[in-house]
Structure 1
């Protein structure tokens, strides 16, 4: 079965990859999460995580520059990495909680900038 990748999902993955912090232990996390290396891990993110995320984000008014730069390219990779370090096969609910936490972080950062 072939899955169609939307432009939005492709952009989300590109920004996610750019914002994902690399460390010496990434290969261990990639193996635990996706049974492979970075290709398998980022394919898993594209196929499993981004659809949940995009669907969940539909309930919010997030302009694309903010969504890609602030969310996928900055705050979300860090939060998702933290979640995956604890829960290697996250449920939809835990991914949604991670999204909420990311949005809270971005909101707080925006408040701090405005003050």
Structure 2
């Protein structure tokens, strides 16, 4: 059960929250692998959940790598330092794209 839950959450967070998704995907793979071994030894049930957790964990890592390769998870630190990320600046009630614009 834990493997499938971690895999599903990890897959979602691999797309939207870079630092959180990858560790959850790795945990899903580990939990799915351990659960599969225990099920084969007759110590439990839920083979489908274990395999689902493995599959979702692997899919999350693949998604993470693909997004990283295509630049989805990169951030322009120069833009952060310039203050371009954050809420829009308003002057006289009019939103401004660039805070330096008068």
TM-score norm. by structure 2 comes to 0.25
Say which one has the larger Rg. 2
- TM-score in terms of structure 1 length: 0.23
Q: Which has the higher strand share?
A: 2
Structure number with higher helix proportion: 1
More RCO (CA 8 Å, sep 6+): 1
